Each structure stands twice: as C-alpha cells, then as structure tokens.
Amino acid sequence: MNRDDKPFEYEYDLGDLGRNGTEITLEADAEDRARIAAWAEVPAVESFGAKVHLRKHSANRFALDADLVADVVQDCVVTLEPVKSRIERHVHRELHVAHHTRLKPNEVIPLGAGAGDDEVPEEIVSLEYDVAGPLLEEFTLALDPYPRAPGVEFAAPAALGEAEPARENPFAVLKGLKNRP
C-alpha cells in the first residue's frame, strides 16, 4: 500500500470549536485496523484508538492533545515469530491555519525564533482537519524497528576469515618478486 494513502481518517471542522473545545473518542474497526496494518507493513493491528481533545486558542490557532493506545503484532527479526506489543503515546500538536499569500520573486520571509524546533505550530491550509493523521504518524514512529520475541538474542554469523583458511595476499606475491636478487 502506498504510504501516502491514508488508511484511517476522521475529518473535523475546527471552525465549529468553541472556547471549551471538544473531546472525541476514535476507535478503528476491524477493516480500518487491517488497512492500518497493511499501511504500516506489520502483520496485524489488534486495536487502535485514542481520546482526542481539541481546543481553540484564536480564530486561526488550535491545539490537539490525544492519548493513543494501540496493540500491534510484528515479526521477530531473528525467528520471524509474531511479537505482540502495546503502544501508548501522548500526542500534542499546535495548529495554525496558514492563509495563502503570494510572494514576490526573491522576497525573503523572516523566520521566527522557534523555526526548526518541534514546538513550531503545524501549519494547516483549511479548517477541515484530519484528526487521525497525527495519530497514524505517532503510531508509525512508535513501532519497534527490530522487534524480538522474548528471550531471543541475535547471534552474528562467523566472520568470513574464520570459516575459510587465510588466502595469500596477491600484492605480497608482487612485493616478493620485487625483492628478488
């Protein structure tokens, strides 16, 4: 599956938010979990859900806080046995609606003091926001890149030089010819 295809979406109109915000409970059904598993390239996602709290700071600034919980099955990198794990992550995003402005050629835009930091608000182009997007992003970041079954350790194969007798270096032969009387 193409990584750009979203396996799970939940659109919310941030323009509907009041000052108190709102709380949303997301729970992926079996079909959604199968698509998430194929998208994340894991054998199975047994559960995927989150409690999401959205707040409005101003007309174009919002905050998303979520507690993601997912149960995932991955293949052990040593034995290929299924390895189950639980992912629990807190997700926080500051959102800023960026209005499209036309820039003149060679115009320089000054960056704020926090430019390049993770604390810079995420710029969005519309009040229609996919709440599931940051959850999927954090889910994939939380996956163990080298899952191992309990008690399994990786044993490196014997080095090439140990299994075969040492061969004579061809340059040593040439050096020997040069030093002949």
C-alpha–C-alpha distance, residues 52 and 56, integer Å: 13
C-alpha–C-alpha distance, residues 24 and 17, integer Å: 12
What is residue 60's predicted lDDT score, i.e. its pLDDT? Answer: 87
Q: Which residues lie closer than 8 Å to 9 by C-beta, 6 or more apart?
A: 130, 132, 133
What is residue 33's predicted lDDT score, i.e. its pLDDT? Answer: 96
C-alpha–C-alpha distance, residues 105 and 94, integer Å: 30
What is residue 1's predicted lDDT score, i.e. its pLDDT? Answer: 46
DSSP per-residue letters across 103-123: PPTTPPPPPPTTTTSTTSPEE
* Nearest CA among 148, 13, 11 for reference residue 77: 148
Q: Which residues lie closer than 8 Å to 93 by C-beta, 6 or more apart?
A: 63, 64, 122, 134
Q: How far is CA 174 from the centre of its chain?
A: 54
* Nearest CA among 82, 68, 65 for reference residue 142: 68
Residue-level pLDDT, tens digit, the chain, 181 residues:
445 678 999 999 998 898 889 999 999 999 999 999 999 999 999 999 999 999 999 888 999 999 999 999 999 988 889 999 999 999 999 999 887 544 455 555 555 555 555 567 888 888 999 999 999 999 999 999 999 888 877 677 666 555 555 667 777 777 767 666 6
What is residue 68's predicted lDDT score, i.e. its pLDDT? Answer: 97
What is residue 122's predicted lDDT score, i.e. its pLDDT? Answer: 86
> Taking the complete model, does pTM exceed 0.85, yes or no?
no
What are the extents of the domains in the chain? Answer: 11-178
3-state helix, strand, coil in the chain (%, to 5): 20, 35, 45
* Nearest CA among 63, 86, 68, 71 for reference residue 26: 68
What is residue 166's predicted lDDT score, i.e. its pLDDT? Answer: 61
C-alpha–C-alpha distance, residues 115 and 103, integer Å: 19
* Nearest CA among 125, 109, 130, 135 for reference residue 60: 125
